Amino acid sequence: MAQCEQGYLCDVCGEEVAGIDNSDLYLRYVIGELDPEVLHTTPERHLRCNPVVAQFIDHPDFEAVEVEGMFDCRTLDEAFVNERRTLISRGFERLLQIAATGGDRDVTQYPLPEAIAKYRGEEDPSEREA
C-alpha cells in the first residue's frame, strides 16, 4: 500500500492505527489534553501502546491494562485515579460513539463538552452554577 493510502502509524509499534476507537491521539484530543492546533502534527499511537493513559479506561469493550512501576494507578492518589478514570473512560466512550457514526461529524465537535469549552477559552460547563 502506498504511504499516502495508509492511516496514521503508531510511533511505538509502527503498525497502522486503524480506527479512531483505538487512537491515543484522538482520546487525548477528545478529553481536552491535546490542543486542536497540533492534532495534525502530533505522533499517533494505539491506546494500548500508551499504557499509562490506557490503564484508566474502564469500559466493557476495552480489556484492562496494568502498568508496573511509579505510574501504576494502583499506587496513585485514589481521588486522582477516580477523576482520571472517569474522564478517560468518558473519552473512550466518545471515541466509540464517533466510530459508530463513521466519523462523519466535524472534528471540532469530537471533544467532550468541557474540552470544547476549554479549547474555545470558555468556562467549563460542568462548573457553572445552577
Q: Does residue 50 belong to any structural domain of this protein?
A: yes
pTM of the model: 0.86
Q: Check whether 103 has a pLDDT greater than 80.
A: no
Q: Does residue 101 belong to any structural domain of this protein?
A: yes
Q: Give the tens place of pLDDT for each residue, 1-50.
A: 344 455 789 999 999 998 999 999 999 999 999 999 998 899 999 999 99
Rg of the chain in Å (alpha carbons): 15
Q: Does residue 12 belong to any structural domain of this protein?
A: yes
Higher per-residue pLDDT: 90 or 3: 90
Percentage above 70 pLDDT, the chain: 88
Q: Does residue 62 belong to any structural domain of this protein?
A: yes
Which residues span the domain enclosing 12? 3-119
* pLDDT given for residue 7 in this prediction: 72
Q: Does residue 126 belong to any structural domain of this protein?
A: no
Q: How many domains does one find in the chain?
A: 1
* pLDDT given for residue 62 in this prediction: 96
Q: Does residue 127 belong to any structural domain of this protein?
A: no
* Cα–Cα dist 98/20, whole Å: 8
Label residue 51 exposed, middle or buried (CB < 10 Å: 0-12, 13-18, 19+).
middle
Q: Does residue 128 belong to any structural domain of this protein?
A: no
* pLDDT given for residue 1 in this prediction: 33
Q: Does residue 38 belong to any structural domain of this protein?
A: yes
Name residue 23's beta-bridge partners: 46
Q: Give Cβ neighbours of residue 42 (< 8 Å, ≥ 6 apart).
A: 25, 34
